[in-house]
């Protein structure tokens, strides 16, 4: 008999709790797993020995269903960067102490590429110390920028939010008789996956978004203004999708840097709005989709949530098969009918790397997405969640009420 531990890390998505459900359900099925521990605030909870017994918290099938439809991370999150063990072995010893003391034979870490760095470092440390603790990573990020995996859990729901909302914003923008420009700012630090996903509207015959700017293409204010003028000649209401991560002259980025050295970006939409107003002089507004694009689980993709649960389950099986230092990944077998297989990759091949939009996804002018790329995005946003509601509002699982104080 052994115990298992699971933790959640990084920025919220709609699918992280579904992966937790996958880990939980699969662990329940396995005879050799006894307790299922949840670590509070990611790896910080393991360092501080702050774990909770999930079987005493997730009690019923209703709890599981609620957990699946609850956005963000019920176990809390962290942005903790594990130092190299050569720099600070103390923290590794604390982690090992917690896990050994609680007879934890497998640690499943749900997170982005920074968390996969933790998976890699921990698994190497345990190997070097001859500790039999398997460490497996479950990917998640709305940014979809992890290497090797076809896509990441959480991305499909965010892409669905972006596409549906972009369509509604288009209806909202087109009502007046005067020409207008609407700029929608979408998350994505360095990779334009989420911004590009707004182009799925083209598969429905929509002309919007008329312009799409992603960080993979060098941004030029002059080209931007020329693009906008060209589109204004064709459409009364021009709708523009722009990634928060496009590079514009300095002074726009707020310059605040998080623990991983990521710059916190904001205000690109507002910046471009001001440029359009001063240079073109038409009605213009900017809209930041903000955290809604990562937490609007009422609009989740059923495909995404189901896959997130499945990849969580697969992580448990992978650990039980004796693997460590692995990340579970999706390999797309076919677009029609959409089929994916869950496989494994080495955490060291995913950690601290980023995957960018393929060049052939972007049109030759560098200001929109090719229709040929839509086959990639469309399967990921299919299906609606079956929501449990109360007072007309989707209910959430409230583990945090007594755990995260």
The answer to the question of residue 405 lying near a second copy (CB under 8 A) is yes
CB 377 within 8 A of CB 198: no
**Using the 8-state DSSP alphabet, how is residue 35 labeled?**
E
Residue 134 gets the label, from left (phi > 0), alpha (psi -120 to 50) or beta, of beta
**In the window 310-369, what residues touch a second copy (CB under 8 A)?**
none
The answer to the question of residue 203 lying near a second copy (CB under 8 A) is yes
In the residue annotation, 143 being an active-site residue is answered as yes
Q: For residues 203 and 257, which CB has a smaller minimum distance to a second copy in the complex?
A: 203
In the complex, what is the shortest distance from the CB of residue 222 to a second copy, in angstroms, rounded to a whole number?
27
**What is the DSSP track for 294-353?**
HH-GGG--HHHHHHHHHHHHHHHHHHHTT--SEEEEEEEEEETTEEEEEEEEEHHHHTT-
Of these residues, 114, 143, 145, 304, which one is catalytic?
143
Residue in 34, 44, 37, 1 with CA at minimum distance from that of residue 20: 37
Q: Per CB under 8 A, which region of 28-36, 86-94, 245-253, 388-396 contacts a second copy? A: 388-396
The answer to the question of residue 71 lying near a second copy (CB under 8 A) is yes
Burial level of 294, CB count in 10 A (0-12/13-18/19+)?
A: buried
Task: Give me the 281-310 binding string for a second copy, x by CB under 8 A, dash otherwise.
Answer: ------xx-xxx-xxxxxx-x---------
- How far is CA 146 from each of CA 9, 76, 318, rounded to the nearest angstrom? 15, 22, 19
- In total, the chain counts a number of residues equal to 405
For the record, the structure tokens of 200 come out as 């799925």
Among 122, 305, 318, 381, binds a second copy (CB under 8 A): 381
In the complex, what is the shortest distance from the CB of residue 390 to a second copy, in angstroms, rounded to a whole number?
6
**In the window 78-97, what residues touch a second copy (CB under 8 A)?**
78-79
Q: Where does this chain bind a second copy (CB under 8 A)?
A: 12, 41, 44, 70-73, 76-79, 160, 163-165, 167-169, 171-177, 200-201, 203-205, 236, 287-288, 290-292, 294-299, 301, 378, 381-384, 387, 389-396, 398, 400, 404-405
List active site positions.
Answer: 143
């Amino acid at each position: 008999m052994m115990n298992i531990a699971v933790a959640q890390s990084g920025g919220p998505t709609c699918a992280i709790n579904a992966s937790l459900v996958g880990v939980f359900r699969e662990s329940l099925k396995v005879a050799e797993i006894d307790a299922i521990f949840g670590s509070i605030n990611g790896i910080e909870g393991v360092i501080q020995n702050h774990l909770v017994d999930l079987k005493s918290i997730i009690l019923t099938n209703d709890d599981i269903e609620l957990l699946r439809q609850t956005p963000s991370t019920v176990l809390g999150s962290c942005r903790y960067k594990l130092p190299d063990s050569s720099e600070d072995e103390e923290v590794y010893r604390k982690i090992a102490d917690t896990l050994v003391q609680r007879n934890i034979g497998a640690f499943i870490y749900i997170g982005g590429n920074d968390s996969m760095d933790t998976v890699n470092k921990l698994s190497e440390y345990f190997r070097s110390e001859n500790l039999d603790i398997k460490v497996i990573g479950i990917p998640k990020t709305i940014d979809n920028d992890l290497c090797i995996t076809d896509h990441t859990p959480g991305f499909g729901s965010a892409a669905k939010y972006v596409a549906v909302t972009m369509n509604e914003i288009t209806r909202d923008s087109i009502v007046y008789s005067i020409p207008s420009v609407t700029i929608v700012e979408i998350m994505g630090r360095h990779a334009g996956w989420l911004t590009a996903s707004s182009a799925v509207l083209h598969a429905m015959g929509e002309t919007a978004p008329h312009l799409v700017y992603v960080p993979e293409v060098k941004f030029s204010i002059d080209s931007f203004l020329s693009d906008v003028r060209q589109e204004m000649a064709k459409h009364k209401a021009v709708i523009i999708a722009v990634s928060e991560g496009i590079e514009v002259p300095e002074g726009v980025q707020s310059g605040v840097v998080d623990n991983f050295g990521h710059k916190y970006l904001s205000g690109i939409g507002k910046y471009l709005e001001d440029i359009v107003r001063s240079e073109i002089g038409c009605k213009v507004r900017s809209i930041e989709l903000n955290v809604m694009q990562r937490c609007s689980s009422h609009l989740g993709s059923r495909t995404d949530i189901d896959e997130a649960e499945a990849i969580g389950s697969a992580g448990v099986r992978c650990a039980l098969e004796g693997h460590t230092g692995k990340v579970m990944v999706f390999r797309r077998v076919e677009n029609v009918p959409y089929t994916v297989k869950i496989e494994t990759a080495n955490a060291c091949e995913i950690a601290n790397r980023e995957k960018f939009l393929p060049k052939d996804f972007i049109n030759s002018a560098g200001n929109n997405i090719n229709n040929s790329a839509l086959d990639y995005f469309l399967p990921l946003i299919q299906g609606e969640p079956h929501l449990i509601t109360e007072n007309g509002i989707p209910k959430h699982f409230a583990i945090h009420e007594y755990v995260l104080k």
